[in-house]
Chain A
Amino acid sequence: MSHAALPDTDPPKPDSWLTRNKLSIAPWFFLAPALAFFSIYVVIPIFESLWLSLYEWNGLYKADGTSTATWVGFNNYVKLWEDPNFWTSLKNNLAWLILYMLAVPAGLFIALFLNQTVAGMRFYKSMFFFPFVISQVVVGLIFGWFYNPDFGVIGSVWKALFCEETTNILGNVTFTCSRTAPDILSSPEWATYGIIFAGLWPQIAYCMILYLTGLNNVAADQIEAARLDGAKGWKMLWYVVLPQLRPATFIAVVVTVIGALRSFDMIAIMTQGGPFGSTNVLAYYMYEVAISEYGERYGYGSAVATVLFMIMLVYISYFLWRMYQDEKVSR
């Protein structure tokens, strides 16, 4: 191709490089801002954390701007292995994972209860959903107060059941109790369960709304057909309805697992990991070691975060794999 061959005649206007390739360039223009933001704040920090978990660092910089971090290899992980707080946290994470799952059947149960069309049903459905909308900080405060043995609900019920009110000569009222009221959040054995119970409240609401939407879309003709065949009650639920609710169940399980592993707010509000570290979970313990009053331990904290990330990665991979299967079908 030489220059000479080009203009003289009047060819159709040649498409510029940009026009010819617009379908392969355009997506990058649309994607660039989201990708840039997401990389800076999410993708790159993940790798930085993984890398930092191999260092010991108090978060400070030298005068010349280089970080004071020192390479320790897998030392942080060795320390984790010997750290009883880490094992407590892991054990509590497991308790969260298992007990939080109760939100799924409980949500289904409430959804079935509410799936009627009597007057005012819309109002009831949205009121049942209410707990999910409010901040977990507020939920934590409410339940922390409920559990208070002196002036919470538990305390009052206890007074009514086991205490006798006596008034002495001076007119002062004292309570003599046959048993002392349980202080759930100060008990190393029970505190975690108290927090999980509080956490279930909004989570059940979330699962409920997923199932209510699912129930809306259950094929009516299949239900009618099954009814003609004499199916009802549990059998109908198990063999006809639940299979159709599978997408709802899947999302409910996914969000519940993530919710369980992310539990931080309520622990911070209700016990701050105490008493004696007995309510720590990895999410909270990581925060505690990384930014504690005794100075920052970024490397060690990153090692805890890495463990939590790896656990979550199992679920993320499974979720992505399921999505990939759907994608293949839809293509």
Chain B
Amino acid sequence: MFPRPIEKSGPVAKTAYQAFLPVALFLWLLPLLAIFVTSIRGAADINSGNIFGWPSEFAMIENYQAVFTQSAAAQYMLNSVLITVPSVLISVTLACLGGYALAIYKFRVAVPLFFLFVAGNFIPFQILMVPVRDMSVQSGLYDTIAGQFLFHAAFQTGFCTLFMRNFIRALPFDLIESARIEGVAEWRIFWYVVLPLVRPAIAALAVLIFTFVWNDFFWANVLTQGESAKPITAGVRSLNGQFVNNWHLVSAASLMAAIPPVAMFFLMQKHFIAGLTLGAVK
């Protein structure tokens, strides 16, 4: 193990290390803590300039309530859910199928196609912006929930297929071979042999894609206009304009936007990290 375990450096070093950890964490998360404390302050503190001291009154419930009643935040949150969930479902489903094809069958274009999905995943959004926006306007998908989740699903399919293909490739090929010799139909091999084995990959992808799509801001701006289809990320920006200098309300709204992916991360931590570090470890 590197660095050398701290226990071996004696009890003093260990205690010092353990004492320093919370300090380091405090400094690291200071911006987040500050915004949290601000979100539970009363308006009086903000006006009198008490931004960093202890709150003179706690107004957590009032602030969060105000965000919901004085703005379209509830609508934005709902939109975010309606955009994110179908995106995850579609892209993971397509990737299970596509990844299976690219991993199991040996055909000439398998590697080039695989590379197409990999490359598509890294391109800048801007190169897609004008055609995708134009296509959405033409097909009536502009400023709709569906217009956004169809795009996200398609784009995330690149990453998901990359992930699934590598995962399925690492499975023992004998399983598939022997099923074929038994005369099992190809789609049944997929359904009964492979799919049960890729469950961890599905979980990892689901949490990752959830976070990616939930946090999207660019496409929310490109593909929506009004409040009816806007997700919470773009919503927070308009709230920021609406609640000028009402930092307690802006903070509350920002934290609300952050909660779902954070909850997802803490619930599914193992899968999340397994997904992110794909390829980082052989």
Contacts and interface: CB of A to CB of B under 8 A. Distances in A.
Partners in one complex: yes
Interface of A: 22-24, 26-31, 33-35, 37-38, 40-46, 48-50, 52, 59, 112-113, 115-120, 124, 126-131, 133-139, 141-143, 145-146, 151-153, 156, 201, 206, 209-210, 213-218, 220, 223, 227, 232, 236-237, 240-241, 247-248, 250-252, 258, 261-262, 264-265, 268-269, 282-283, 286-287, 290-291, 298, 301-302, 304-306, 308-309, 312, 315-316, 319-320, 323-324, 327
Contact of B35 (A113, A142, A248, A312): A142
Given A142-B31, A302-B130, 5 more contacts: A31-B97, A34-B161, A126-B265, A135-B214, A247-B280
Q: From DSSP, what is the main secondary structure of chain B's interface residues?
A: helix
Contact of B94 (A37, A112, A120, A264): A37
B25 to A, nearest CB: 6
Contacts of A218: 1-2
Contacts of B60: none
Interface string B149-161: 0110111011001
Interface in B108-135: 110-111, 113, 115-120, 122-135
B173 to A, nearest CB: 12
B192 interface: no
A186 B181 CA distance: 70
Interface residues of B, number: 100
Contact of A283 (B6, B124, B279, B282): B124
Given A37-B153, A49-B127, A261-B124, A209 B35 contact: no
Given A45-B131, A52-B130, A206-B276, A31 B31 contact: no
B21 interface: yes
Closest 10 CB pairs of A and B: A34-B98, A41-B154, A45-B131, A30-B101, A27-B105, A27-B101, A135-B215, A305-B126, A48-B131, A34-B94
B279 A247 contact: yes
A287 B221 contact: yes
A256 to B, nearest CB: 13
A309 B98 contact: no
B97 A30 contact: yes
B269 A126 contact: yes
A34 B276 contact: no
A117 B125 contact: no
Contacts of B113: 31, 35
B115 A135 contact: no
A130 B279 contact: no
Nearest to B258: A134
Nearest to A285: B126
Contacts of B52: 153, 156
B281 A248 contact: yes
B73 interface: no
A42 B158 contact: yes
B2 A115 contact: yes
B122 A319 contact: yes
